């Protein structure tokens, strides 16, 4: 670093001062020889140059953020800048003509100072860290650079020291390190630090031949808290969850927040996998107590996935992946529980991935088709419509049941595209039968929960009806009880708008969900479908018979149509007829039919009526 002198260096030899300021020896000689300033242009130029340089040096000296001290060759202070006084507490009057020994903190031994002095004598400069004692007796670590100021003959006349507060820099470095390795919200290790700690833990486990465990935790239904109470209280909940997690583990274990509502726990050393289960149970218990958020009690739970090293994997990547798989299995098992990773889970995840890939290919390869489940008026046996059913014929796996692929479609969000394809194809097919001279029958199409949440659902349905020229009054959309009750107020608004378009609405699988009668009367529903589970044993089970009677009576009191699904025997049909059920569908009347077979049924029915 450059020497920054002070204008008060009255004891500094002129030739040294001028040389430092960048004035040539020739210019200095002219100045020393006393050439008249008013008669010599060269003398005036030299004088101006020296004065300007002194002003610049003084400005730098006084305004430097680093402390600057100037000493004689025997280390007596002859000048210090304001930054030195601010840093140490010593005013200039306190320090002038004093020796640096007054700053000794006793942090260094005599060998340190002898070594420093030898380096200055030999090289003319020294760089390193020193600990000094301030005026208030506080000890301060500083980065010191000392430079010797030489005469023309090479002899040192002064020393200049530049001191920088390493504590301030260290504080900045610590803050940057904290930002890089710790979660700013909870103070827990972040993803980067978590991976480093897991690597270290696995290395130690390999070296010492012991087991370790990784737990991946996800707060159940955290989105609901954010959506209902707001993100500020959602953040407060995460802070409280983090605090409770830390109380459940040892000091040597590591709790991290990966992001969102996802946490991890690294158990450095365990005797067996049961140790991890004990910690998991402790966590589940700790989080079962209510959380206070803005004077409101909130209850949450977590789903925990556990992997054990080296049983479930020996790499960071594999352990994390397997813990994630176990955690999702815990969610599927009802939440608020823990699950160990197993090869069965891994196979299930691979099967899901393969199924999703096959589903995407099915769209490209036109592997989907529609079947039509005829619906009949129970009293007259008249064909009154059909429920549209999607079928998937895989080129190598053959026909795949909807009970298998529909859940995968819902998990991967492909259900939205599939539902749209089913609706459009069914409408197009019905209109094509009309063009053949056949009477269009009402079509009942299932609507998934994800479709109902689409902000552009109304636009899509209206657009399909317009494109295909299918009458809205002949379209019935079926929704399950669970879908209806997921977000009641928004659902009612959407259903009313569909109803305003002329579309009929029905509740599918009625009796298996949890509809509230107070809400049921608010839904603009036209039809209730009795779930086939109640029809299957209606002839032998008095409870099922009573439930069917209750549903039929309630529906009629609410002026709703009732259709029973899964009717497979004449006995079932007769009992339903006695109970005054309106309509039926099931194998006793007709199996689901492909496009050509349903067309034949329409043709035959139309011929019978002619």
pLDDT at residue 605, as a whole number: 86
- Lookup: tokens for 111: 């060998």
* Distance in angstroms (rounded) separating the CA atoms of residues 266 and 216: 9
pLDDT at residue 487, as a whole number: 77
Whole-number average pLDDT of the chain: 85
DSSP per-residue codes, 532-558? HHHHTTTTT-HHHHHHHHHHHHHHHHT
pLDDT at residue 114, as a whole number: 86
* Distance in angstroms (rounded) separating the CA atoms of residues 609 and 604: 9
pLDDT at residue 153, as a whole number: 79
pLDDT at residue 443, as a whole number: 96
Strand ranges for 355-457 from DSSP E: 368-377, 383-394, 398-400, 443-446
pLDDT at residue 40, as a whole number: 52
pLDDT at residue 607, as a whole number: 78
At residue 582, the 3 state secondary structure works out as coil
Pairing, β 125-133 against β 443-446 = unpaired
- Lookup: tokens for 45: 């130029």
pLDDT at residue 12, as a whole number: 40
In this prediction the pTM is 0.54
Could you list the mean pLDDT of each consecutive 10-residue stretch along the chain, which spans 610 residues? 35 39 44 45 59 67 85 91 90 90 86 87 89 89 89 84 76 66 90 93 91 94 87 93 94 92 94 89 93 89 93 91 90 88 70 84 93 95 95 92 89 90 96 92 92 91 96 94 80 93 91 65 90 90 91 91 95 95 95 95 81
Q: Phi and psi of 86, rounded to 5°?
A: -65, -35
Asked if residues 256 and 193 have their Cβ atoms less than 8 Å apart, the reply is yes
pLDDT at residue 173, as a whole number: 63
pLDDT at residue 38, as a whole number: 46
pLDDT at residue 18, as a whole number: 38
Spatial CB neighbours of 258, under 8 Å, sequence gap ≥ 6:
190, 191, 194, 264
Spatial CB neighbours of 533, under 8 Å, sequence gap ≥ 6:
511, 512, 544, 566
Q: Cα torsion for 66, 71, 76, 80, to the nearest 10°?
A: -40
Measuring CA to CA, which residue among 149, 182, 162 is closest to residue 64? 162
């Amino acid at each position: 670093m450059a020497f920054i002198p002070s204008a008060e260096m009255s004891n500094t030899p002129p030739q040294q001062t001028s040389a430092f300021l960048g004035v040539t020896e020739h210019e200095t000689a002219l100045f020393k020889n006393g050439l008249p300033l008013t008669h010599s242009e060269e003398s005036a130029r030299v004088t101006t140059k020296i004065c300007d340089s002194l002003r610049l040096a003084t400005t730098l000296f006084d305004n430097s953020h680093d402390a600057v001290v100037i000493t004689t060759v025997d280390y007596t202070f002859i000048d210090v800048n304001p930054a030195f006084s601010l840093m140490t507490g010593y005013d200039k009057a306190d320090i002038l003509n004093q020796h640096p020994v007054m700053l000794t903190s006793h942090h260094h031994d005599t060998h340190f100072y002898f070594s420093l002095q030898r380096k200055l004598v030999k090289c003319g400069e020294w760089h390193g860290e020193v600990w000094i004692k301030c005026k208030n007796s506080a000890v301060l670590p500083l980065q010191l650079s000392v430079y010797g100021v030489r005469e023309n003959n090479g002899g040192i006349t002064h020393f200049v020291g530049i001191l920088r507060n390493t504590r301030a820099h260290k504080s900045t470095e610590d803050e940057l390190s904290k930002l890089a390795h710790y979660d700013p919200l909870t103070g827990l290790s972040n993803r980067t630090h978590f991976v480093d700690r897991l690597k270290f833990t696995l290395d130690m486990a390999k070296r010492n031949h012991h087991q370790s465990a990784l737990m991946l935790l996800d707060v159940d239904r955290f989105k609901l808290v954010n959506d209902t109470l707001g993100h500020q209280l959602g953040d407060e909940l995460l802070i409280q969850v983090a605090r409770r997690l830390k109380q459940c583990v040892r000091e040597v274990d590591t709790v991290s927040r990966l992001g969102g509502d996802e946490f991890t726990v690294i158990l450095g050393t365990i005797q067996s996998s049961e140790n991890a289960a004990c910690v998991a149970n402790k966590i589940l218990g700790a989080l079962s107590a209510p959380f206070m958020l803005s004077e409101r009690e909130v209850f949450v739970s977590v789903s925990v996935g556990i992997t054990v090293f080296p049983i479930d994997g020996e790499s960071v990547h594999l352990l994390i992946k397997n813990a994630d798989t176990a955690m999702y299995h815990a969610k599927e098992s009802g939440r608020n529980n823990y699950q160990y990773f197993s090869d069965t889970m891994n196979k299930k995840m691979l099967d899901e991935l393969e199924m999703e890939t096959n589903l995407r290919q099915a769209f490209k390869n036109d592997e989907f088709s529609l079947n039509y489940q005829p619906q009949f008026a129970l009293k007259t046996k008249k064909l009154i419509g059909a429920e549209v059913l999607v079928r998937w014929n895989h080129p190598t796996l053959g026909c795949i049941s909807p009970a298998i692929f529909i859940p995968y479609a819902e998990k991967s969000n492909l259900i939205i595209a599939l539902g749209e394809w089913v609706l459009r194809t069914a409408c197009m097919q019905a209109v094509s039968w009309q063009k053949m001279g056949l009477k269009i029958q009402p079509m009942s199409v299932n609507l998934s929960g994800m479709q109902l949440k689409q902000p552009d659902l109304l636009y899509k349905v209206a657009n399909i009806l317009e494109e295909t020229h299918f009458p809205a009054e002949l379209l019935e959309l079926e929704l399950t009880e669970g879908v209806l009750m997921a977000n009641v107020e928004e659902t009612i608004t959407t259903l009313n708008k569909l109803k305003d378009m002329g579309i009929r609405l029905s509740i599918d699988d009625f009796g298996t969900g949890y509809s509230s009668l107070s809400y049921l009367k608010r839904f603009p529903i036209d039809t209730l479908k009795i779930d086939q589970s109640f029809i299957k044993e209606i002839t032998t089970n008095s409870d099922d018979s009573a439930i069917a009677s209750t549903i039929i009576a309630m529906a009629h009191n609410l002026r709703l149509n009732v259709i029973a699904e899964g009717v497979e025997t004449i006995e079932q049909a007769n009992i339903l007829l006695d109970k005054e059920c309106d309509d039926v569908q099931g194998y006793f009347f007709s199996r689901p039919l492909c496009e050509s077979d349903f067309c034949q049924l329409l043709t035959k029915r139309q011929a019978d009526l002619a």
